[in-house]
Every structure is written in structure tokens, then in C-alpha cells.
Structure 1
Amino acid sequence: MDISKVKQQWKRYNIEFENSNYMDVDKHTSMALKVGSLIKEIDKLNTGLDKIRFLKHSFVGDRTDLHKEIERVINGIR
């Protein structure tokens, strides 16, 4: 998923909201409550995937250790 497009839409929505005298309360509430946290979650997942891809291609050693490292990334353990 290309998060940059979602971020651009979110930014555009916020600009339109700030420059408008009319507010669709339901739409605004939905966007405000869901999209911000969605973007953060997707960024977190993409970061995890990047780390897993890096581990997969650069890991030297036992595959069991690789799986442990991937599990640490998935669970957010540093």
C-alpha cells in the first residue's frame, strides 16, 4: 500500500476543512478519529516489513535465529 497517497488525501482534507465555512460533522469526526491512527499504524507496519526484508536478505546464521529476529520485529521487541 502506498501510504503517501493516503497522507496526501488526509492533508488535502485538513486544508479544505480549515478553509471552509461549512463542516460535515459526521465526515469530519470519522476522518479525525480513524485516519490519523490508521496512518500511524500503516507506518508502523511498513517499518516492520522493511526490517523483516532487511533481515531476510542480510541475515547470516541459523534460520531459527532468523525466525526469532523476525518474531521480535513483529512483536515490537527491541
Structure 2
Amino acid sequence: MPMYEYQCEECGLVFEARQKFSDDPLTECKSCGGAVNKLISQTAFALKGSGWYQQGYSKPAAKPSCSSAAAGKGCGGCPKAANE
């Protein structure tokens, strides 16, 4: 379950509440009963290693292969030979 932060408009108390995504946001301060606002919090995790987020979702682009017309001319007419 996610953790949400709230701040009271009356007393300024900042507190956390563990709630389901489907739960309604809190409206009252647990200390003084005043109105509260949900805060936008920083995340507390770091992505490390060589996972999908670093490599992206797609495969690397395929190297072009020689066309049959270029292959008939030998390696000199093949665009792939220029890169080798």
C-alpha cells in the first residue's frame, strides 16, 4: 500500500497515512481535527543496475544487409563493406 503525506491547514502538522489507491483522501487532521491537504512527496527509491530503464524497451537497430544488386558487384558495391 502506498504511503501519503498530509499537512494540516490549522496546526501545520505533517503526517503520513498508509492508504489503498481506492481509499478517499483524508480530510481531517489526526491531532486537531483541522482540514488537511495531501502533499506531493519525493520518491524514496533508486534504480540501479542494467535493467529495462537503462536499456530501453526496443532492440538495437539491425545492421543493413547487402542487397542482391550490390552483392552482384562484389564487396566494393555493398554499403555494408564500407563500414567494415
Please tell me the TM-score bracket, short chain as reference: under 0.3
Question: Hey, which of these two has a bigger chunk of strand by percent?
Answer: 2
**Could you say which structure has the larger radius of gyration?**
2
TM-score, normalised via structure 1 length: 0.23
Does 1 or 2 have the higher relative contact order (CA < 8 Å, sep 6+)?
A: 1
* TM-score of the aligned structures, taking structure 2 as reference length: 0.22
Structure with the largest fraction of helix: 1
